[in-house]
Amino acid sequence: PDSRTPASQTVEIDGRRVKLTNLDKVLYPETGFTKGEVLSYYARVAPVMLPHLAGRAATLIRHPDGVDEPGFFAKHAPSHRPDWVRTASVAATGSGKHIEHVLIDDLPSLIWAANLAAIEFHVPQWRVADPEHHDLLVLDLDPGPPATVLDCVRVAFAARELLATHGMDLRAKTSGGKGLHLYAPLDGVTAEQARELAHTIALGMEAQLPDLVVSNMAKRERPGKVFMDWSQNTHSKTTVAAYSLRARPRPTVSTPVTWEQLAAAERPDDLRFSPTRALEQVAEHGDLLSGL
């Protein structure tokens, strides 16, 4: 947006009327990145991002006052929402209660949510069409300082090799935070089986690379080691969606990367993607997680 762009306007997107507000509000004070720029980023990345959100119960992290102010996890769909925003009722683990989540299935819904200052979009490893089965295995690699994302890269290559011997295709994305997320497609696997598989992989990685990998939650903060968090593979756990912005001091994006890019990374910044760089990545490679 520039000086000619009104701060608020109603736009029509694919036949839906979406009210956009406070477009000139700065959401990332460190860089001056505005809400208008957040919306613009999501509009541009939507073609590759929407397939990863569609059909999954979304949890939004909203920062109406910018990333320097506390945000909040929004699991419940906002009660004031357009009637065309789809929702799904999801059983909350243990409590017997249900939570009405939004489904970000199309561009109007994505832009509507982003206009609520939903900076981050998180989704579970299963689809509302089949809540009993996980269609994604996720390995969340968390570096314990002074370990960095470059140490996560070493773990990622070892995991890729292990999974390849079982015919599994592993893909990687940056988290947009400190580490990496690795994904493999699953078919007909329960949450319990997915968790067991991930645990087995983490134990295998730890046995193979004991100086580098920790699989034990209680030792996750081990300095210089990478915690492979296999426990993300449960019904109630989410992972930040591919192409989501992160609510960090600077706008960074959880961005799918090639194995060549991982191998070539020399500094952690080589694996840091601004919104502009994430869009360039998509222009060059398309969606590196397509088909997952």
The single residue listed with the structure tokens 């397509």 is 290
Give Cα separations from 164 to 104, 113, 135, 200, 202 (angstroms).
32, 38, 18, 15, 15
> Phi and psi at residue 183, in whole multiples of 5°?
-130, 145
Smallest gap from Cβ 88 to Mn ion, in A, equals 25
User: Cα(136)–Cα(159) distance, rounded to whole angstroms?
Assistant: 16
Measured from the CB atom, is 20 or 77 closer to ligand ATP? Answer: 77
Pick the piece of the chain touching ligand ATP (CB under 6 A) from 27-35, 43-51, 96-104, 173-181.
173-181
- Interface with ligand ATP, residue 178, by CB under 6 A: yes
CB of 141 to Mn ion, least distance (A): 7
175 belongs to the binding site for ligand ATP (CB under 6 A) = yes
Residue number of the CB atom closest to ligand ATP: 177
Token representation of residue 100: 């009405």
Are the CB atoms for 121 and 58 separated by under 8 Å?
Answer: yes
- Near Mn ion by CB under 5 A: residue from 106, 120, 140, 151: 140
User: Which amino acid, residue 279?
Assistant: L
The yes or no reply on residue 62 touching ligand ATP (CB under 6 A) is: no
DSSP H or E stretch at residue 38: helix 35-53
Query: Cα angle vertex 30, ends 29, 33, to 5°?
Result: 60
User: Binding pattern to Mn ion, positions 213-242, x when CB under 5 A?
Assistant: ----------------x-------------
179 binds ligand ATP per the rule CB under 6 A = yes
Calpha distance 215→180 (Å, rounded): 15
Please give the single-letter amino acid code of residue 105. D
Candidate ranges 3-11, 89-97, 187-195, 235-243; the one touching ligand ATP (CB under 6 A): 235-243
Of 71, 108, 179, 256, the one binding Mn ion by CB under 5 A:
179
Nearer to ligand ATP, 160 or 181 (CB): 181
177 binding ligand ATP? (CB under 6 A) = yes
Q: What does the radius of gyration of the chain's CA atoms come to, in whole angstroms?
A: 19
Which residues contribute to the site for ligand ATP (CB under 6 A)?
Answer: 73, 122, 140, 142, 175, 177-179, 238-240
Which residues contribute to the site for Mn ion (CB under 5 A)?
Answer: 140, 142, 179, 229
